Amino acid sequence: MASLLPSKRLLLLLFVIALLVLSGDAATKKKKVKKSKAKKVKAVTPAPSAGGMSLTFYNNKCSSFAKTVSDEVAAAMKKDPTIAAGLLRMHFHDCWVRGCDASVLLSGPNSERQAGPNLSLRGFQVIDTIKSKLERSCRGVVSCADILTQATRDAVVKAGGPSWDVPLGRKDGRVSSAAEVQLPAPSESTNSLISKFNAKQLSVSDLVALSGAHSFGFGNCGFFQSRITSRDPTLNSTYAQELQRKCQTSASVANDPITQNTLDNQYYKNLQQRKGLFTSDEGLFFHPQTKPLVDTFASNPVAFAQQFRASMAKLITLPPFQSNTGGIRTVCSIAK
**Residues with active-site annotation:** 93
148 close to 65: Cβ distance less than 8 angstroms: no
Strand partners, 172: 327
Q: At what angle do helices 291-299 and 301-315 cross, to 10 degrees?
A: 120
Which distant-in-sequence residues (6+ apart) come within 8 Å of 109 by Cβ?
none
**C-alpha to C-alpha distances, 87 to 120, 121, 151, 153, nearest whole angstrom:** 12, 8, 8, 9
Q: Going by DSSP bridges, is the β-strand pair 218-220/252-254 parallel, antiparallel, or unpaired? A: antiparallel
